[in-house]
Structure 1
Amino acid sequence: MGFSMLMCMKTQVPLLDFPSGKLNMNNVVFNPRRHKEKVVILMGATGTGKSRLSIDLAASFPAEIINSDKMQAYEGLPIVTNKVTEEEQRGVPHHLLGILNPNADFTATNFCDAALLAVESIIGRDRLPLIVGGSNSYIEALIDDDDYMFRSKYECCFIWVDVSMPVLRSFVSNRVDQMVENGLVEEVRKTFDPDADYSRGIRRAIGVPEFDKYFRQEPYLDKHQRLILLHEAIAQMKENTCKLARRQLGKILRLRNKKGWNMHRLDATEVFLKHGSKEADEAWKELVARTSTRIVDQFPYNFASKIPAKVAAGIKVRRVGTAIAAGTF
Structure 2
Amino acid sequence: MAMQSMLMGKQAHPSLHIRATILDLPLRNSWTTSKDKVVVVMGATGTGKSRLSVDLAMRFNGEIINSDKMQVYEGLDIVTNKISEEEASGVPHHLIGIVPSHADFTCTDFCNTVSGKMDDIVARKRLPIIAGGSNNYIKALIDNEAYGFRSKYECCYLWVDVSMSVLYESLAKRVDQMVDRGMIEEARQFFKPNADYSKGVLRSIGGPEFVEYFRLEASVDEETRVRLLKEALDEVKINTCRLARRQVEKILALKYEKGWNIHRLDATKVYQKHGKKCGEAWEELVLRPSMEIISQFLSSSHGLCNSMELHLN
1:135 maps onto 2:134 in alignment: yes
> 2:198 corresponds to which residue?
199
| Alignment-derived partner of residue 171 in structure 2 | 172
% of aligned pairs identical? 58
Pairing partner for 1:282 from 255, 273, 280 = 280
How far did residue 35 of structure 1 move? 1.2
SS at match of 1:298: helix
- Residue 47 of structure 1 aligns with which residue? 46
Report matched runs for 1:153-164 at 5 Å.
153-164=152-163
CA deviation digits over 1:79-115, x for unaligned, max 9?
1000000111011000001111000110000000001
Please state how far the C-alpha of 1:75 moved relative to its aligned partner: 1.0
The alpha carbon displacement at 1:146 in A equals 3.4
Q: CA deviation at 1:148?
A: 6.6
1:104 matched to 2:109? The reply is no
Stretches of structure 2 that go unaligned for 5 or more consecutive residues are: 1-32, 309-313
Give the match for residue 233 of structure 2: 234
The equivalent position to 1:291 in structure 2, one of 258, 267, 289, is 289
What's the Cα RMSD here? 1.7
Separation in 2, partners of 1:109, 1:247: 21
Summarize deviations over 1:200-259 as a string: whole Å, max 9, x none: 100000000000000001011111110110000000000000000000000000000100
Q: Distance in 1 between matches of 2:147 and 2:54?
A: 29
Check whether the contact 2:111–2:147 (CA below 8 A) recurs between aligned residues.
Answer: no
SS of the aligned residue for 1:299 comes to helix
Question: What is residue 255 of structure 1 aligned with on the other side?
Answer: 254
**1:167 and 1:45 mapped to 2: Cα distance?**
12
Shift of 1:147: 4.2
From the two aligned structures, give the one with the greater helix fraction. Answer: 2
Distance in 1 between the 2:50 and 2:138 partners? 15
Spell out the pairing of 1:55-74 with structure 2 (5 A cutoff): 55-74=54-73
1:190 match: 189
1:33-52, CA deviations, whole angstroms, 9 ceiling, x for partnerless residues? x9100010000000000000
**Counterpart code for 1:217:** L
Give the distance between the partners of 2:127 and 2:57, measured in 1 at CA.
9
Secondary structure of the residue aligned to 1:71 is coil
- Which letter does structure 2 place at the counterpart of 1:263? I
Runs of 4+ in 1 over 2 A off after TM superposition: 325-328
CA distance in 1, matches of 2:229, 2:159: 35
CA–CA distance in 2 between the matches of 1:121 and 1:199? Answer: 33
* AA partner of residue 296 (structure 2): Q
Q: In 2, Cα distance between the equivalents of 1:111 and 1:67?
A: 10
Structure 1: gaps spanning 5 or more residues:
1-33, 302-317
Q: TM-score, structure 2 length as denominator? A: 0.85
Aligned partner of 1:271 in structure 2 is 270
2:144 maps to 1:145:
yes
Say how many residue pairs are matched.
273
